[in-house]
Structure 1
Amino acid sequence: MSHTELVAWSGLVIGLAFGATAQATGFCLMRGLANAWTRGDTVKLRAFALAMAVALLGSQALVATGVLSLGGALYLPPSASWLAVPLGGALFGYGMVLANGCGARSLVLLGSGNLRSFVVLVCLGLSAAMTLSGLLAPLRVWLEGATTLALPARDLPGLLGVPAWLPALVLGGALIAWALASRDFRASPRDWLGGLVIGALVPAGWLATGVLGFDDFEPVRLATLTFIAPIGDSLQYAMLSTGSRLGFGVSVVAGVLAGALVMALARRDFRWQGFSGPGHMGRSMAGGSLMGIGGVLALGCSIGQGLSGFSTLALPTFAALAGILLGAWLGIKGPLSLSNSTT
């Protein structure tokens, strides 16, 4: 088996684990924020915080022990747009409220029989491809070119002038402490196990692409869990797969869908669901489109930046996360809020 085939199979396994776990536990940032801001229930949000901590500590442990270097990760550019990254995050955050879940959650829901998520994913993939290399690409390039500045450092440890393990321990420890401070969360193994497993899949992805995919002549691009460009790539692969090679991101997407389907059938949760009306469908289409555009501008989604980007302590990640939280707040509690469900 070649190193590229090994990476593709690894992506499938990681995707299967993510899909099965997310389906069984209801792991979702949007759901966590909605529950916390509308009902005061922080259990789902604490699960996401625990996943952030595990992703951060696991990834930085790999770096500290010399197993791999994250220097080639997408999230660590020498320069970034001070406008496009947070704006993209806000568009993504508001879009995931309109669509009732992020791209990863939409894949999980589709595997559970939710046909609304199919429309969301198609709109997300198309808009992401349009923003990356299609009709919207010139506008994106212009916006980034007009607002890009050289960063004082590529990550938080470089900015502070401290070893990477120090902020990793501080931030990771704080997130774990906050997550475990809730008695309800500690009493819900479904949620804390979900956070542990999904968080651990981020360093697993770095290992798959950075170690298994290492080759002096044909290296695999360093990547881990993210769902904006990979969903667009999956649509393209489904249409034009002849003569092309299956990559890590597309394998993860396929694995998430399959893992969610298997878990939904095993738990007898699978049921067909559709739109309640044209307005509902329009909100889902708009949400998917905003997530595709915003995710490209922000260099990632709630998983791509919230877990994978955070695991690198990249400076643009904090701007993207602030934008995602702002956009979600606007849709859940702010002046642009909508009375949609949080399934």
Structure 2
Amino acid sequence: MTMESTQLVILAGLVIGLIYGAVGLLSGFCLMSSMRGLLAEGDGRLVRSYALAIAVAIAASQLLVGSGTVDLGKSIYLQQSFSAPVLFLGGLLFGYGMVLSNGCGSRALVLLGRGNLRSFVVVIVLAIAAQMTLKGLVAPARIALVQASQTSVGANSLPSVLATLGLAEALSRAIAAAVIVVALILFAFAHPTFRRSPGQIAAGVIVGVLVAGGWFVTGYLGADDFNPVPVTSLTFVAPIADALQYAMLSTGLTLNFGVATVAGVFAGSLVTALATGRFKLEGYSSPRHMLRSAGGAAMMGIGGVMAFGCSIGQGLTGVSTLALGSLVALAGILLGTTAGLRGALRVQPLAMA
């Protein structure tokens, strides 16, 4: 039974990754592209797609919690103590690095499947920097920062904040989820061009459902009393680091949901690119371009670990739990991305090859 449940989780992770890779390639789903479209190009469709994905992820994930199917309290996002400064700083680093590298970790995997060799450098450097921050040379500094600034909180999520007002837990969850979901859906569909973009609408819905699907797979299908699977869903910084390590040391490691998802995203993008004629080898335009891209990837690896996730891992998966820490991390990611796209710290565009 243990082997069966573990294998089922890995297979489901692969399928979720395959779907995400295909959708990501066809729709261009990416927070950095969304923010660039909104702030630099005046095109708000992609950011609406991202907002819709958050809404669907929250609604579906909270339904799983409300029905007792999944306990999101077992995830890394809903801890009783966390360091808001480190989460925010990590988000800032990740967001700015995302602009330097022209996309987040999941986007790099999707573009790599399309033949973008710049993304190969981004994925490798991100993986190394993340592993250094998780367990390597940077880890002691990260741990010291967290220990110096973490606080224990009685309320670690929006529903638990409402519960302090005397509301029942189920009602608190329903109110918190409903307010955010309705606001995000109104924001998305208030945009006329988005309403006429069925591909972007579909992408937002599918990605949101995939987040809830990840929770269901790891939190329900993987709920084995003897060998429980960590309760998680779509996230890419630590899994990309684990995937690189697994590729090098597979005989001493076990395959998990995250590694399977990473492999699935690359494979889904590659198959879709080949099937639609979008596959094209691309490289760097200059050594400076490569240096900037690699530097951004290192910032994403370090910042993503500090923030407990990336623009997908915190921006969608973490936020779907309604965790306060995830909102702090997402605020950092959005601010870091905005700084890279507008203002004094704006990253100047480079000519692409």
TM superposition score normalised by structure 2: 0.95
Residue in structure 1 matched with residue 319 of structure 2 by the alignment: 310
Residue in structure 1 matched with residue 226 of structure 2 by the alignment: 217
Whether contact under 8 Å (1:36, 1:42) holds in the other structure is yes
Amino acid at match of 1:312: T
Q: Secondary structure at the match of 1:18?
A: helix
Residue in structure 1 matched with residue 44 of structure 2 by the alignment: 42
Whether contact under 8 Å (2:289, 2:350) holds in the other structure is no
Q: How far apart, in 2, do the equivalents of 1:257 and 1:179 lie?
A: 28
Residue in structure 1 matched with residue 215 of structure 2 by the alignment: 206
The one of 67, 73, 84 aligned to 1:65: 67
Q: Secondary structure at the match of 2:239?
A: helix
Residue in structure 2 matched with residue 10 of structure 1 by the alignment: 12
Residue in structure 2 matched with residue 119 of structure 1 by the alignment: 121
Runs of 4 or more consecutive aligned structure 1 residues displaced over 4 Å after TM superposition: none
Task: Identify if the C-alpha distance between structure 1 residues 134 and 44 changes in structure 2 by more than 3 Å, giving closer, same or farther.
Answer: same
Aligned ranges for residues 1-343 of structure 1 at < 5 Å? 2-161=4-163, 162=167, 163-340=172-349
Q: Secondary structure at the match of 2:251?
A: coil
Name stretches of at least 5 consecutive residues in structure 2 with no aligned partner. none
Q: Secondary structure at the match of 2:302?
A: helix
Deviations 1:183-237 (A, max 9, x none): 1001111111111101100010001101111111110000000001000000000
Q: How far apart, in 1, do the equivalents of 2:111 and 2:246 lie?
A: 21
Whether contact under 8 Å (2:285, 2:351) holds in the other structure is no
CA drift of 1:245 comes to 2.0
Q: How far apart, in 2, do the equivalents of 1:91 and 1:145 lie?
A: 19
Q: How far apart, in 1, do the equivalents of 2:299 and 2:152 lie?
A: 27
Whether contact under 8 Å (1:88, 1:323) holds in the other structure is yes
Q: Secondary structure at the match of 2:75?
A: coil
Q: How far apart, in 2, do the equivalents of 1:314 and 1:156 lie?
A: 6
Q: How far apart, in 2, do the equivalents of 1:216 and 1:289 lie?
A: 38
CA drift of 1:67 comes to 1.2
Q: Secondary structure at the match of 1:168?
A: helix
Whether contact under 8 Å (2:5, 2:224) holds in the other structure is yes
Q: Secondary structure at the match of 1:146?
A: helix
Whether contact under 8 Å (2:215, 2:233) holds in the other structure is yes
Name stretches of at least 5 consecutive residues in structure 1 with no aligned partner. none
Deviations 1:95-139 (A, max 9, x none): 000000000000000000000001001111000000011000000
Q: CA RMSD in A?
A: 1.2
Q: How many residues align?
A: 343
CA drift of 1:40 comes to 1.7
Q: How far apart, in 2, do the equivalents of 1:255 and 1:45 lie?
A: 24
Identity %: 52
TM superposition score normalised by structure 1: 0.98
CA drift of 1:327 comes to 0.5
Whether contact under 8 Å (1:100, 1:340) holds in the other structure is no
Amino acid at match of 2:249: L
CA drift of 1:244 comes to 2.7
Amino acid at match of 2:24: A
Task: Identify if the C-alpha distance between structure 1 residues 341 and 29 changes in structure 2 by more than 3 Å, giving closer, same or farther.
Answer: farther
